[in-house]
Structure 1
């Protein structure tokens, strides 16, 4: 064989070469098989997880459907045009429409025309994102039961992009609740009327007693004093003169007490001069009795237009509160103020006394007086507010509506 030339391969040489080399695709196939096995395992795991999620979602959907179907209040879904998409059995029963009929209606069709504008305004705020939900008591029409009262709760369901998908509305029939409220209001009004009539009867009896004291007791006592004075001038016995003077003094005390009692019963200063002037007179009497300086601030217009029953109630309230100040406050000075606005009249009594714990006042001696004033004001639609603290004095404010009528104003 010449140099530089390769000897030709014999068949035996080729066989040996093939046996020495590995199969050309044996290694890649094994790798692909392993990778495919791992992928299949991961897919199977994902499938099992998705099946579990599906079963869980199916369970939740079933529970939600049961809640939807068995809820005791009406639940419905509406599109953004206010049309019903679906209603639960309680909704169809309450409204008196079938599911098919309900899908052809919108919510505004069943709402009372006087209540619909308020609902539309709240729903618009809901759509604009100003509210997450709204609740409103309104009237609605039931197909088979007529006009009803309902408590409507409305909220939006939004997608992941924040866009409104549909509305979830719940309606609870509160007709019985509203009827009970109306009956309770009527009972309260009847009780108020009874209390007012009782108070008016009491005031009329006071005046009758005052007239009796004036005509049947005060005048005879005054006449007896005059006659005794006439007889006293004819007496010469010093012992009889002294006894006559003692009788004169006793008669004077009886006349004074009778006149005071007559004034307290009939309140001539209130009926003749008005509320503010009567309170000024009361302040003078209080200052004389308890030695406490009282200032009356007349920062208000004349109140002659107030019904007589209201004036009597306020006057007797001031008398009761001043009596509490005189008995319990240990004050040196008190101040009475009047003012009013378009709707209310305010009357305030403040003192610089020892004060007290407001939360404990019902157990104190002053408690019944304050309770009595509060109850009588409540029948008039008024309130008594007490601000006090130990060592800080007391401020008591009466607030009554200026629209009180004679019939609704209970008197003392």
Structure 2
């Protein structure tokens, strides 16, 4: 069909090959009345004596031609004018001829004498279908142009997981040429553990409608042609009308590297801060406390040597204040750097913390600690200890109870679970963000920050009048210095 053709037939060209003068005249008059421009031919030789095949949207062909068989003519016409529809007219009434014609791709088949209304309706339908096909092809061409120039990789697969399209960005990202990977299973682009079960994901989705990735953006690992793995962000859409899944994929290697650098820097800052606290604790313990103890000794000597009651009372009061100062520095030293945590481990440190919370804050802390879950990595010990202490401080400040419980247990895959709970007044977790941002908030942002340094997870459950349960999950093994991206 000529470019820009519409449903209006005015001027649209039709090629008519009809050896019968009467039938040819009737059809040309009928078509001319409807505004079509008709080019007539009487024989096969005249039919093929032209080079403007792309002009015609329709070729009308008599079944019986004087110098050729329609079985030979139709394939050649399809090759010369692939965009044109074919319509056969005949005087024969044998059903076999009609079946053969339709099998070769004929749009319609009319037996003479031709009903003008049915003939017009058939051509109108053919024209409408060609307009729809033309618009569809144009839309497909536009979409292909967009996909081909997209920065992100775009891949489509069928219901069997076989790749149907692979745009240039995907070629660059994965190292395959499109012709190499079309009709290959999409699992070829996934890591080995996922490759084995990938088809099961598709089958499960088609059978149950439950999707782990379709309809959302996910971070996964992908495999290049050379076997190297890299992190991607993928968004998958189901296109059931076409029987396809479409995936838009971005390489997030640079982003992950930046995140890793930021994470390493954050961890380094936290470790440096911990070292500063330990140094400050050492100064308090080794220097300031020794000085204060020395002052106390001299106060005792002066107190025993004087006979003046006023001076003695003053020295006694100074001695009391000095004792308070020594206790404060000892407590501060223990909070900054509990020596027992580094020398004896987390469990012993929690036992000391439980005693300290009872003595200083009247909070009775019940401990249920599995010795198998005692971590050996120093960074992990410090992070977990500080989180538990922060949670117990929250109980003191907000729960309006004097009872709390700390449980530590070993989970499969060398994971530690720590649960800090109370039976206090509780709170509405819907207001959690407000409480964290409030200057008098419950300090959960500090806990989440500390756990992020050891890749730990934190969950909080609470409601008014039902108490609070804080749950921490962390690894028993030392944290790795390099990040691994896993499917979530």
TM-score by structure 2 length? 0.59
Is the 1:353–1:393 Cα contact (8 Å) retained in structure 2?
Answer: yes
The residue aligned with 1:367 is: 441
Q: Distance in 2 between matches of 1:77 and 1:393?
A: 51
Is the 1:76–1:168 Cα contact (8 Å) retained in structure 2?
Answer: no
Q: 1:58 aligns with which of 119, 127, 130?
A: 130
User: Mapping of 1:11-410 within 5 angstroms?
Assistant: 43-71=115-143, 72-73=146-147, 91=167, 107-108=183-184, 112=188, 118=195, 122=199, 174=249, 177-178=250-251, 181-298=252-369, 300-343=370-413, 344-364=415-435, 367=441, 369-405=443-479
In structure 2, the CA distance between the partners of 1:150 and 1:48, relative to structure 1 (3 Å rule), is: farther
For 1:88-114, what per-residue CA distance to the aligned partner results, in whole angstroms no more than 9, with x for missing partners?
xx8589659xxxx98898533998576
Q: Distance in 2 between matches of 1:228 and 1:317?
A: 41
Q: Distance in 2 between matches of 1:352 and 1:123?
A: 45
Number of residue pairs the alignment of both structures matches: 344
Q: Distance in 2 between matches of 1:305 and 1:258?
A: 28
The residue aligned with 2:59 is: none
Instruction: Give the SS at the match of 2:184.
Output: helix
Q: Distance in 1 between matches of 2:169 and 2:303?
A: 97
Is the 2:404–2:421 Cα contact (8 Å) retained in structure 1?
Answer: yes
Instruction: Give the SS at the match of 1:348.
Output: strand
Q: Distance in 1 between matches of 2:374 and 2:316?
A: 45
Is the 1:362–1:368 Cα contact (8 Å) retained in structure 2?
Answer: no
Question: What's the offset of the Cα at 1:130?
Answer: 5.2
Q: Distance in 2 between matches of 1:152 and 1:240?
A: 81
The residue aligned with 2:84 is: none
Gaps spanning 5+ residues in structure 2: where?
1-111, 148-153, 215-219, 484-488
Question: What's the offset of the Cα at 1:249?
Answer: 0.9
Question: What's the offset of the Cα at 1:50?
Answer: 3.3
Instruction: Give the SS at the match of 2:397.
Output: helix
Is the 1:339–1:345 Cα contact (8 Å) retained in structure 2?
Answer: yes
Gaps spanning 5+ residues in structure 1: where?
1-39, 159-166
Q: Distance in 2 between matches of 1:337 and 1:284?
A: 16
Which structure shows the bigger proportion of residues in helix conformation? 1
Structure ranking higher on relative contact order (CA contacts 8 Å, 6+ apart) = 1
